[in-house]
Each structure stands twice: as C-alpha cells, then as structure tokens.
Structure 1
Amino acid sequence: MKHPVTFIADHLLVCLALAFISGIALAPIFSPALHVIRLSGVALFCFLILLATLYFYRREDTVLCLLLPLLFGIGWYHAQLHLQPPAENNHVFNRIAIKSEAVIIGTLSSMATFDGTSSHITVASEFLRFEDSPDLQPVIGRVLIRLSGPWPEDLVPGDKLAVRATLKRPESSRTPGVFDYANYLAHKDIWITGFVRSAVHLHRVEESANLFHTLRYLPEKIRATIGKRIDSAVPAASRGVYRAILIGDRSGVDEVTLESFKGSGTMHILAISGLHMTVIGGLLYAILYWLLSRSEWLLLRYPVRKIALFLSLPILVFYGLLAGMNTPVLRAVVMSCVVIVAICTDRRKSPSTLLAFAALVILALDPLQLFTASFQLSFSAVTAILFLYPALQKLILPDMNQPTPSTGKKIVNWIAAGLLVSIVATLATAPIALGFFNRFATVGIAANLFVEPLICLWSLPAGFIAILLLIIQPEISDLLLVFGAIGLNGATHVAKFFSLLPWSTLWLPSPALWLLILYYVALFAITYLAVRKNKLLYAGLPVLVLCSLIMIFPPRALIQKRSVAMQVSFLDVGQGSSTLVQYPSGLNILIDGGGPANSSTSVGERTIAPLLWHKGIRKLDAIAITHPDADHYNGLEFILKHFSPAIIWVRDPIGHDTAFERLMLLAAREKIPVVVPEKGQRLGEDSDYLECTENLFTRENSSNTSASRQDANIGIVLKACSGKRCTLFPGDIGKSEERSLVSGDYGLAVDFLLSPHHGSKTSNSPELLTAVSPEVIVVSTGRAGGGHFPHNQLVEECAKRNIPLVTTSRWGTISITSEQATYQVFGFTRPDNNPLRPFQPVLLAEGGF
C-alpha cells in the first residue's frame, strides 16, 4: 500500500478537489456569526503563509499533507461568503421588506420567456420609486418580473425599462421535503419578484447605449431572435422542445410533454448539458477540420486536428451565452473547455484529474452549485462512465491485432456500449434522483436508447447548423429546423410511449443518508475491484443489490421515523387544510388534503406528497375528508394514486361538485373502500385511534339529503387520540353546528384544536372554545388571509383566555409532538430571513398536562 504522502502526490488534484468539496458541504451545517467567518478568513491567510514558509524550507511532504486542510477551510469559507444575503443597503433585497407597489427602472437583462399564460424576464435594477414617494432611490440587484400575457415584441434585452409592479420577496412553503422556490431563486442571484398586470405598465426609457452595453446584451438579443425564428418555422407541437434543446428555454414545453419526458427517464435531454456540448463540439470539430484539411500547406506544417479543436472552443463558449449560460450550461461549457485545453496542450491525464479540475473551477465560481440536483446528477453520471472507460474502449474499439469486425458487429458493439453507458449512468444517478424528486423511471435505460439518438444525432445538429445559417441563408435555416422538428416529434412520441407503460415510474420515499452512503461505497468498491480484476467484487454485489431493493421496496421499520410520541403535522398548504397524524404504533392517517387551485400542480403533488416521502411514508393507513369543499380535498387525487390508502372516510360519497365525484370514481378504480363513518366509529388500535365524534351531515340532514349537499361546510368532526392526548378536527363547521355539538354529550375537551373554518368569524364561538379548552389552537390559512383568517375576534379571544394561537401562514407546517405528560409545538423559520439558508424548526410552545 502506498504511503499517504505518495498517494496525495500522485493524485494531488483529486485530493484537493475532495477536500474543497468537503469544506463546502460542511458550510450549511456549521454556520457561525459573520464576525467568526471573517476571523476564519484571517486564519486561513495566516495558514497559507505558514505553508509558504514550510515550502521555502523544503518541507514538501508536510506541505502536501497540510494542503488538504487548507483547501477544506477555503471551501468552507468560500461557501459561507456565498451563503450571506446581500449586505449593501441599496440592494433591492434590503429595500423591499414587505409586498409593495413600486416603479422599478433598470435594464432588461434576459430574453423573455412565455409559458402560455405569463411572461418572465429579469431586470437589472438601477432605480426604485415607491407608490407613496416621489423620489427615485438608486438600487442594485436583479428582479424577476412576471407579466400576465405575452411579452411585447418591441422590448428586447438591453433596453432600459420603467416597470410598475407589485414587488415582494419570493415565498416558499415551509414544509420539510418541499421545493424551496425562494432558495432556488437566491441561488440564481434573484432576491425580489414582481408582478405586472398589463403591458401598459411597461415603458422603454430612451438612452444611448455604449459599446460595452451593446456587447454585454448581444447574446441575449441573438437568443431572442433565434427563439422567434423557431416559433415561426417549427410546428407548434415541437416548438417548446426545440427551444429547450437549442437555447435553454423550457417554458414553452407543455405539461403533458414534460411529464412524458419525466416519466420515461429522458428529462435530462431537455436541459443543455455536457451531452449537448459533446454533440455540438464534435460537429464543430468535424466542420472545422474538414475546412482546414482542404489546405495541403496547413496539413504539412501544423497540427490541424488540434487547431480545429481549439477553434471550436470560442464558438462553444458563445453558444453557451446564447443558451442563457445558466448553471447547467455553465457547467457543461467549463467541462468542455477543460477537456479541449487538456487535449490541445498534451496534458491529457487520467479522467479523474480532468473531472476534479472541472469541479474545482465550477465550485470556485459558485460553491453553492454543489447542493443542486443538476450538479450532483451530472458529475455522478460522468464519474461513473469515466471509471468504466477502459471497458467501454475495449467494447467499441477492437484490439488492433484482432481482425476488424464487420459492419454488423460494429453496430452491435455500439448498441451494447450505449446500453452499458445508460445502465452505468442510471446506477450512479438513481439514488440522487430519488433524494431530490422521489421518482425513478424504470424504463429510462431503454427509452434513452431511442430518444437520445433522435434528439442528439438528428434534431440538435440540424438545429445548430440552422443557427449558423440564420443570417446568411434564412430559408435553408428554416428547412433545417423543420427537418429537425421531425426528429423531435418522433422523440416525443417515443417518450410518451415509454411513460405510459405500466410501472414506468416508481414514486418512492427519500433514501436515508446511511443507505445512500452504503450504496455508493458498494458501487465504488465494485468499480475499483472490477478494474483490477479482483474477485472480491462479488462480495460487494449483494450489498449493492440489497441497498437497491431497500430503496425500491422500503420496509417501514427502516425508513420511517418512529417515535414514542404522537406527532400531528398541520401542513402549510395555503388557504386550505391538510393534517398528517403519526401515531406511536406506526399508524399514519391523513386528515383532508386540499389547498388553493391556482397552480399547474395540485397541493397533493407539490406539498403533501413531498412531506410524506420526506418522513419515509410510502403507504397511508387511512384518509379522512371532513367535508367535500375543494380546499379540503383537491390535492388527494395524486395521494390516492401514489400512497394507496387502506380506507377513506367521507361525510357522504356524493359531495356537491363534479371534482369530488371524480375523486370517488378514482377511489373505486383503485379499489379503495370508501366509508361513511357513524358517531363513535374508530380507526386504529385501542390507544391509538381516529374517532368520528359526529357525522353532522347524516345527523342534521338525513331527511333532506339533496338540500344538504348545497352546504359544503357540514361534515364529520374527528378526534385523533393517542392515550389521553387528543386533537379535535371540526372541519369548516359554523357557529350553529358548534353550539349543537357543545349542547350534546360528545366529550369535546381535548388538548389541541384545529380552528374551524380556518379561524373565520363565522366559526370559533366562545362556547366551543370553553367546551374544548385546548392547550393550543392551530389555524390553517394562507398568507393573504390577514384580518379574516384568523379573524381578529379569535385572536382577541385566545389572548383573553391565554391560549397560544399559531398559524401556518406565519410559521409554515406546524408540528405538535405530544407524550402523555408533555407536549411541544414547532414551526419553521429561516435564520435571519436569508433564503440561502434552509428552514429551521423553531419551538413555538411547550407545556405539561
């Protein structure tokens, strides 16, 4: 075995990259105060001087060993600096603290995108004027603007605009496992969003542009021109996909097509990545080499191949600018540049060295890329493929001493190589994809064999050549785009075919960290031993297979976090209601599942399901719908399809609208029993149960069912109990129903109460609060319900009774953990309101019984 110093010297760049990455990975976990970070920078500088001194006195071995902690510290420090919010007082983030009407003046810095209903652009802000102020304030920072409707064609990147908009800091659902939109924008250096109701609120500010300004926004102008050409030449069915693979604009891809690519495991092709750059780079190299090789003089005097490769470099960089130079494009450009420079300078070392250098360059530019799905997926896939490079080379290029294979054999070899690459990439990326997206396409390996050639060897080359000919031969350019659209149409149909196959997609909980570590250790060990033809690799195969099986068929005892306490989670679903009840016995029941219907995805897909997967829940024991009002059930269609509840409780199976009828039909197709519970009926065990306190629908309207269905708020009142600790769920009952319950013998006294009807003044009567006498009241409401949800009357009544009132609009998902003697109430907040930091749990209330 090599001495550690020798090993570090032989693999210096790889070791330094791993140390740098480790430091970045630690940054979000250990985040001290800003003055401590600054002192750390001084300490690192002193450490660097120490290394320089040791090197001067020829202590190379010591320097090599100390380089690793230095790079670790630099990575941590570098990430900490990038995790800080804008510090400038004139940054637009520090000027917009609450939702405000304002006029913002700045430069249109990006091509406008249109998703069919709204347009999106970014503005590099320069001045800001609030509605109640006549003065323009100088500001800096980028603002994401959304316009209702298409963007005016006469406004192009580089124009200075005056925009009247409603500005605010972006918001995210404060629910574990849910996509953090504000964090996503902050990683793109966008800290404020704005909404413009009409194009009449957009005005161009006439200004003479200098040469630097013109060149700076030229790529975005050309990008917009290419987008318009695609829109005019390509059929509507393929237009959005062509814009995605050529200029990096995926906004025009409709939801059905997008889901087809996701479901078939070919979604990565719609993002410009290393695969696209490889195809375009190879095409550029072939064109340039063919042109240069026409000259015999050049062939005899200069390395034409290297010259052709080097000349393709600036074109690739410019194409990256045309594609928007977003994070995946930047990473692909950097990796392409590293490989080309290494080849042209005869510094082609091991693939791991090139990969490490590319990672160092990318993370030096933006260390927070390490935490993105695209970075982890692309580097894990490339790393896996490069480690199997010798095996792939033997498969594709036969030994020179062997007879040259026939054409048929070559085709078989190439297909086998493509299949092997797809398998290797899938093995490397599947656990990461599960961690980020909770889905795995079982047909991905086969689908990529058909979709990738159609797009990468047909549509992409045709589209790129069309871009080159756009100015000099626009007619031929249009013909090439139409020709390429035929390949796109075929790829879309193939993706749709594979996505519709039974079991084409598995929706699974996020793998536990220990399982991910064990999986990748086994995969690395198998790869390492296979290269060295060591028979010990067969010992790692069972471990890899076992880890894969646990991810696909996760045992509840391994993935679900069990506790001796009952946990009730009131989800942050906006203006709606959904509550997950987890019992110590392992019983999982979802009470309601609805929210506002103002998104392309339901609240079930974007909020409820991610929380369930985050908690390791793959199957629900029951779903209870208190009443058939849309904001209590409109997210349950996705939940029924992917979490297979054993039973559904409803007040009645008919409801009052067609959407609820469709939900009941879906339950019938999925063979899920639908039960109308009666008073006192229970789900669960003796000590852990959900009880129907009363079905007000059947009690109050049994004689006139048709009329009762007009009142959506009448439903079932539920009580979730573990031992002596109980939570009451009244649904949206009004004050008259509350008084009816209080006058009956229902045993309403519980520890926790979900406020009826989201805390409105039509509910929450003093009589009910007296009868229930809760320790804590929770209100499930949206952020736009101030003054009404909860109503000020309820706020004042709780203050008078000294009852803690917590709302999902203020604290996000609220979790109550109750044991027999104590309870704790947690919400979520960001440290220093910094969207670059993840939400952290915060204790809102605690007490004893």
Structure 2
Amino acid sequence: MRDRFMAAGVTHIISISGSHLGMVAILCFGLIRFMLRLLPERQYHRLTLAADPKKIAAWLTLPFLIFYTLLAGGQVATIRSLIMLVAALAALLLDREHALLHSLALAALFILVASPQAIFDISFQLSFLSVLAIGSVVMLWSELQVPGKSRLARFQNSALLLVLVSISTTLATAPLVAHYFNQVSLVGVVSNMIIVPFAGFIVVPLGLFSGLLSLLTSTLPLPALNQFVADRFCDTVTFFSRLPFAQFHPPAPGLLSLLAAALFLGSGYVIVRSILLYRYHPLASSSRVPRNQVAIAAVSGLLLILSLTIFFLPRRTGTIQFPDVGQGDCALITLSSGKNILIDGGGAYDDRFDVGRRIVAPYLWNQGIHRIDLMVLSHPHPDHMNGLKYLVKSFSVGEIWTSGLDKDLPGYAELERLIADRGIPFRVVSAADPPVMISNAEVALLHPAPGFHSSQRKAYAAENSRSLVVRIALEGKVFLLTGDIGEDAEREMLQSNKNLRCDLIKVPHHGSKSSSSAPFLARTRPEIGIVTVGSRNRYHHPSPEVVERYDAAGTRLFRTDLDGALTVTVNKGGLIVRSWRTRMMQRIELEDRSSWRRQEEGNWRALWLRARDA
C-alpha cells in the first residue's frame, strides 16, 4: 500500500505532520468563522467592533492544533509542523498575513536553534519547501488581484489557484524526492487535487470525530462508515497509482544537480512573476524581464539536461558490481551493449527490511537501469532470493533462470507467482545446458549437474551445495559466481570440469570455512576474490582460515563489510577494483589533533574520486 501512495505522489498523506495539521487548522479555522457568522446580526456587528473575527478564529484554532499534536504522539515532525502553523497564525494576529515567507523563516529559525541537525532531516526539508512553494504562489496571486466579478469567475479563479499550488509544490519538491527516493510521480499534480481534499475534509475529520467519541465509549463509533470511507480513499489512491506512467524512477540527482534545479526553479519563478505583473498591472510594473534571471535559468537548465543525459550514454567497457546488501549475495554485470545480468538480489530473513526495494532497486536506478535482461537465482534461500521479489514487480525483466530445486522452501512459491503475474519467461537450467551468448558475454552453467546429490547431512547445507554456479566470460576475462556451494560441490566441479580458471571469483558461501577448499583454489587461481558479507555477522564470515587460503594463493581479497559496494571494471590492462570506502568521507575526530590534516586530506581525496566517477 505504501508503494501505491508513493506512485500516486501522495505519501505525505500517511504521515502525521504538516499535511494533517494543516488540514486540522483549515477545518477548525473555517468552522469557527462559519459559526461566528451564524450569530445574530446585531451581536456579530458588536463582535466585529471589539475584535476581528479572523483573529478570534485564529486564537480558538490554536488549542485544537496543540491538542491534535499531543493526540498524535507529539513526534518531532509534528511539533515542527505545529511551530510553522503557529508562526502563520501569529502573522495573522499581528496583521502581517501578507508576510508569509517571514513567518516561515521565523519558524525555521526557532526549529534550527532548538535542533540544528533538523536541517538534514528529510521531513524538515520537504515541509519547508512545500510551504515555500505554496506561499510564493499565494503571494503572487494576491499581487495579481485577478478579477472575478461573478460567482462563476471566482470559482474558476479558486480552481486555477488550486492547480497552480499543486503544480508548484510538485515541481519544488520533485528534485529532493528524486534525490532521497529515486522517484518522481507524474500524476501527483492531479492526484493531490483530489486525494488531499478527500483526506482533509472527509477522512481526517471523520477519524478525529470518531476518535474523540471513543474516549467516552468502549468501542470505536461509526465503524462501518469509517471502513467505507477508508476503502474508498484507498481505492482512489490505487486508481492513480495504476495509471500508465504514474511514476518514474530517475537516478538520484547529486548536490550539483539539486543546486541547478533550485536556481532554475527560483529564476523561473522570478521571470514568470515579472511577466504576469506586467500583464495584469502594466502601469505599475516594468515590461523588461530581468536578464540576469534569464541567464541563470539558461545555464542551470543546461546543467540539468547534461546531468540527466549522462546516465543514458553508452558504456565503453563491461563491469561487474557487488552492491553492499549485508549478509547476502547480489552481483550486477553490465555489458558495453547496455544489457544487464543480475545474479541474486540479497534479502533478509524476515519482511521487516526489503533489501530489493531499499538497496538493490535504488542502486540500479542510480545507474539509469530499468531493465534486467537476465536474472539468475542461485538457490532459494532468503539472503539470495527475497530481494528479487521487489525487482520482479518493479523492473522490466527479460528472462529468469533457476535450478528448479528446493521449490518447497518458504517464499519460493510467492516468487513464482510474481513471475507468472508479470509474464516473464522462466527457465530451469543446469550444468548440462550449453553456454549462452548475451551480447559479448558468454554465460555458462558449471553446477549443479543433473542428478547431483549433496553429501551434506544438514538440509540447509545441502541446499547451499545445490546453488547454481555461473561462469561469465567477458572481454577476455572470466568471472565465477559460486553462490553458497560447499566442499562437496567443489569436488564435483573439479571432477567434471577441466577448466575452472577465472580472473575473479565471488567467494563461495560468504567465506565460510566449509568452502573454498585448497584444491578448488589451486584450480581456479583467481586474481581477485569478492566476499559478500554483512558487517559483524553472527556467522563470523569470512572464516580466518579461508582468508589465509586466499592470501596464500596470491588472491587480492575484497569484502563488502569493510570496503562497501565494489565495482570491477574490465580494462585492457586487467581488472580495476573501486570500493565505496575510498569514496566515503569520514568524520574528523576532534580529540586527536595530530590526525586532523591526514583525515582532511582523505576526505578531499574521497570527494575528488566521487567527482571523477561522475
């Protein structure tokens, strides 16, 4: 359901923060003003002589906002939203309602003085950007004083303002949403104009009214009505989320792209404002468009176009990448032709953390990858399989290979159902199948052979030894992806395969001492070994004995728990390994002054490497 809200561009509705408090403020303020107008005419006129009804409504709205904040649990994001709304109401009480941006700045100042780290919080950034966009549009609308003499004209103006607010909010927050979530909703402009009023004027008031009544009763009042409204609300969200091209997953823009987007949107707003002011008030406004803003918009727009197109440029060389998926396996082979092969997708042993959605999918989107031409599942254990489920649902997949063994393991039936629902070609393979050419890569299966029986006594270990072993020959180099095989599988491969020589090996079973036997290493003789392993894992992988064997064999060993994500590039001179650790900035330890210079030099080196990669 959360994915549907994200696809529809209305994720903010399901978090109790600015949107919910704003709805409560609008409802309370409007209801109080409406009730004041119901007073007898003479009493109403006496009231207006003593105080402004708007200010009375503002004062009476404050207790309801505070009560709702406490009722919602008083979370940090909710309190921040309360401060923003209090600042807006204070501006009205001080006759400064046209200085909305000043109130916004004051609210930001109070929040950051209390908690300077809040500036790095996603909800803080998105909340203030949204309010800034809304305030800018509303203030410009007030300056324009769009004429609306008839009731129909005023209704059209209100509808147009709603559309402009929705568009401006979507445009203002889109770069940050893409940066944090690799997602831009293409239907958010329309969906917000329908779903937000639905939630604000029906769902939230009904739920709040029922919740207050439940304090006086032992059960929730109006359960059938609440269920009906909630179902219709979810149906509306589902409708928008399933529209064609409802969402797009771009590469996460970097800081330079975010700065270019901010400059482009800011200068664009100034240009549009000057044009509209001259159109509606030609005598009081200049007809000249600020040239410096046009230059800023042109340069920043060009930078945005370049940053978007760079991800879709053809690759000159092939790579094999190992995202850091914790205690699990995942390997991505990208070919110079643009085709992609994914072997395993990582995964957790429960559903509390979706590795496919949180790690692997963003990793692919950040490289502009939306299609996986070949997906291989080595064996159906959770740390290899569970991450593939989200990828099957969210990516275009050309074909999927599995061994077809151990189909009764938990989660495998769900994966098969997802594959069938998407209509993806599904193939059961073994070592008896001939090699397959995918562009310039030869993909061969070395294990298990038909009829292979593991000598392992424990069922889990036997399932590991039945892992698919994939050999990929690419541009004169050989990669060996070994799954979780043990020594019995290694012995079988030594007997049945004459040539196991490889340049890079994915170390079997995360470096367990039950694999990577000395005879196997002597036959494979890898130049580079990759251990995909979780930090401080409970299995104590990789085993010190295995590490010693690889060191003795002259293999350069890299580990995802220490080095982070790894990228191996096929180069004419050999294989070039890049680790995320060398590109990650480190916190400077203030206690040790003697190391400040060294740490600072390391951070600048990391920045240079990341800029060079980009």
Quote the offset at 1:547 in angstroms.
Answer: 9.3
How far apart, CA to CA, are the structure 1 residues paired with 2:51 and 2:100?
A: 27
**Relative to 1, partners in 2 of residues 1:370 and 1:767: Cα closer, same or farther, differing over 3 Å?**
same
What is aligned with 2:150?
404
What is aligned with 2:92?
343
Quote the offset at 1:587 in angstroms.
Answer: 4.5
- 8 A Cα contact 2:447 2:467, kept in partner: yes
Which of 357, 361, 364 is 2:113 aligned to? Answer: 364
How far apart, CA to CA, are the structure 1 residues paired with 2:217 and 2:377?
A: 60
How far apart, CA to CA, are the structure 1 residues paired with 2:416 and 2:208?
A: 50
Q: TM-score, normalised by structure 2?
A: 0.76
**Relative to 1, partners in 2 of residues 1:327 and 1:753: Cα closer, same or farther, differing over 3 Å?**
same
Secondary structure of the structure 1 residue equivalent to 2:372? coil
Which of 228, 233, 251 is 1:509 aligned to? Answer: 251
Quote the RMSD (CA, aligned, Å).
4.3
- 8 A Cα contact 2:475 2:570, kept in partner: no
Q: Does 1:316 align with 2:57?
A: no
Quote the offset at 1:681 in angstroms.
Answer: 1.9
- 8 A Cα contact 1:726 1:752, kept in partner: yes
What is aligned with 1:529?
271
What is aligned with 1:28?
none
What is aligned with 2:175?
431
Quote the offset at 1:768 in angstroms.
Answer: 0.6
What is aligned with 1:728?
480
Deviations 1:459-508 (A, max 9, x none): 3334445667777xx36996588766654443223223322344433333
What is aligned with 1:97?
none
Quote the offset at 1:795 in angstroms.
Answer: 3.7
Secondary structure of the structure 1 residue equivalent to 2:465? coil
**Relative to 1, partners in 2 of residues 1:466 and 1:300: Cα closer, same or farther, differing over 3 Å?**
farther
How far apart, CA to CA, are the structure 2 residues paired with 1:653 and 1:833?
A: 50
Matches within 5 A, 1:490-505: 490-505=232-247
What is aligned with 2:187?
443
How far apart, CA to CA, are the structure 2 residues paired with 1:428 and 1:737?
A: 55
Quote the offset at 1:767 in angstroms.
Answer: 0.3
The worse-fitting range, judged by mean Cα deviation, of 534-543 and 273-282 is 534-543
Secondary structure of the structure 1 residue equivalent to 2:449? helix
Code of the residue aligned with 1:436 in structure 2: it is Y
**Relative to 1, partners in 2 of residues 1:805 and 1:488: Cα closer, same or farther, differing over 3 Å?**
same
- 8 A Cα contact 1:460 1:484, kept in partner: no
Q: TM-score, normalised by structure 1?
A: 0.57
**Relative to 1, partners in 2 of residues 1:698 and 1:807: Cα closer, same or farther, differing over 3 Å?**
same
**Relative to 1, partners in 2 of residues 1:427 and 1:737: Cα closer, same or farther, differing over 3 Å?**
same
Code of the residue aligned with 2:489 in structure 1: it is E
Matches within 5 A, 1:117-196: none
Quote the offset at 1:529 in angstroms.
Answer: 1.6
How far apart, CA to CA, are the structure 1 residues paired with 2:7 and 2:401?
A: 31
How far apart, CA to CA, are the structure 2 residues paired with 1:377 and 1:679?
A: 52
What is aligned with 2:530?
778
- 8 A Cα contact 1:628 1:712, kept in partner: no
Q: Does 1:421 align with 2:170?
A: no
Quote the offset at 1:810 in angstroms.
Answer: 4.8
- 8 A Cα contact 2:486 2:508, kept in partner: yes
Quote the offset at 1:649 in angstroms.
Answer: 3.9
- 8 A Cα contact 1:512 1:559, kept in partner: no
Deviations 1:185-214 (A, max 9, x none): xxxxxxxxxxxxxxxxxxxxxxxxxxxxxx
- 8 A Cα contact 1:377 1:429, kept in partner: yes
**Relative to 1, partners in 2 of residues 1:455 and 1:566: Cα closer, same or farther, differing over 3 Å?**
same
Q: Does 1:681 align with 2:424?
A: no
What is aligned with 2:470?
718
How far apart, CA to CA, are the structure 1 residues paired with 2:201 and 2:113?
A: 33
What is aligned with 1:769?
521
Quote the offset at 1:601 in angstroms.
Answer: 5.2
What is aligned with 2:611?
none
Secondary structure of the structure 2 residue equivalent to 1:579? strand
How far apart, CA to CA, are the structure 2 residues paired with 1:283 and 1:539?
A: 41
Matches within 5 A, 1:252-651: 256=1, 258-286=2-30, 290=35, 299-389=48-138, 392-393=141-142, 399=147, 403-406=149-152, 410-464=154-208, 474=216, 479=221, 487-511=229-253, 513-533=255-275, 558-559=310-311, 567-583=319-335, 586-600=338-352, 602-651=354-403
Code of the residue aligned with 2:273 in structure 1: it is V
The worse-fitting range, judged by mean Cα deviation, of 368-377 and 293-302 is 293-302
- 8 A Cα contact 1:264 1:504, kept in partner: yes
- 8 A Cα contact 1:761 1:793, kept in partner: yes
Deviations 1:201-254 (A, max 9, x none): xxxxxxxxxxxxxxxxxxxxxxxxxxxxxxxxxxxxxxxxxxxxxxxxxxxxxx
How far apart, CA to CA, are the structure 2 residues paired with 1:797 and 1:461?
A: 67
Work out the number of aligned pairs and report it. Answer: 562
**Relative to 1, partners in 2 of residues 1:833 and 1:385: Cα closer, same or farther, differing over 3 Å?**
same
Code of the residue aligned with 2:150 in structure 1: it is T
**Relative to 1, partners in 2 of residues 1:679 and 1:483: Cα closer, same or farther, differing over 3 Å?**
closer
Secondary structure of the structure 2 residue equivalent to 1:598? coil
What is aligned with 2:596?
none
How far apart, CA to CA, are the structure 2 residues paired with 1:580 and 1:765?
A: 26
What is aligned with 2:612?
none
Deviations 1:497-547 (A, max 9, x none): 322344433333324555544444333333212211169799899999999
Secondary structure of the structure 1 residue equivalent to 2:343? strand
How far apart, CA to CA, are the structure 1 residues paired with 2:489 and 2:448?
A: 8
How far apart, CA to CA, are the structure 2 residues paired with 1:595 and 1:476?
A: 42
- 8 A Cα contact 2:98 2:139, kept in partner: no
The worse-fitting range, judged by mean Cα deviation, of 690-699 and 377-386 is 690-699
- 8 A Cα contact 2:260 2:304, kept in partner: no
**Relative to 1, partners in 2 of residues 1:595 and 1:291: Cα closer, same or farther, differing over 3 Å?**
same
Code of the residue aligned with 2:479 in structure 1: it is T
Which of 743, 754, 757 is 2:506 aligned to? Answer: 754
**Relative to 1, partners in 2 of residues 1:786 and 1:799: Cα closer, same or farther, differing over 3 Å?**
farther
Code of the residue aligned with 2:579 in structure 1: it is F
Quote the offset at 1:340 in angstroms.
Answer: 1.8
- 8 A Cα contact 2:565 2:580, kept in partner: yes
How far apart, CA to CA, are the structure 2 residues paired with 1:382 and 1:748?
A: 61
Code of the residue aligned with 1:300 in structure 2: it is L
Quote the offset at 1:361 in angstroms.
Answer: 2.8
Secondary structure of the structure 2 residue equivalent to 1:697? coil
**Relative to 1, partners in 2 of residues 1:514 and 1:620: Cα closer, same or farther, differing over 3 Å?**
farther
**Relative to 1, partners in 2 of residues 1:500 and 1:588: Cα closer, same or farther, differing over 3 Å?**
closer
Quote the offset at 1:755 in angstroms.
Answer: 1.6
Code of the residue aligned with 2:321 in structure 1: it is S
Quote the offset at 1:609 in angstroms.
Answer: 0.7
Identity of matched residues, %: 28
Query: Going by fraction, where is helix more abundant, 1 or 2?
Result: 2
Secondary structure of the structure 1 residue equivalent to 2:479? strand
- 8 A Cα contact 1:578 1:632, kept in partner: yes
How far apart, CA to CA, are the structure 1 residues paired with 2:189 and 2:223?
A: 28
Deviations 1:612-671 (A, max 9, x none): 123332223432333444533332232233332334444459956585465456546545
How far apart, CA to CA, are the structure 2 residues paired with 1:668 and 1:273?
A: 40
How far apart, CA to CA, are the structure 1 residues paired with 2:246 and 2:79?
A: 32
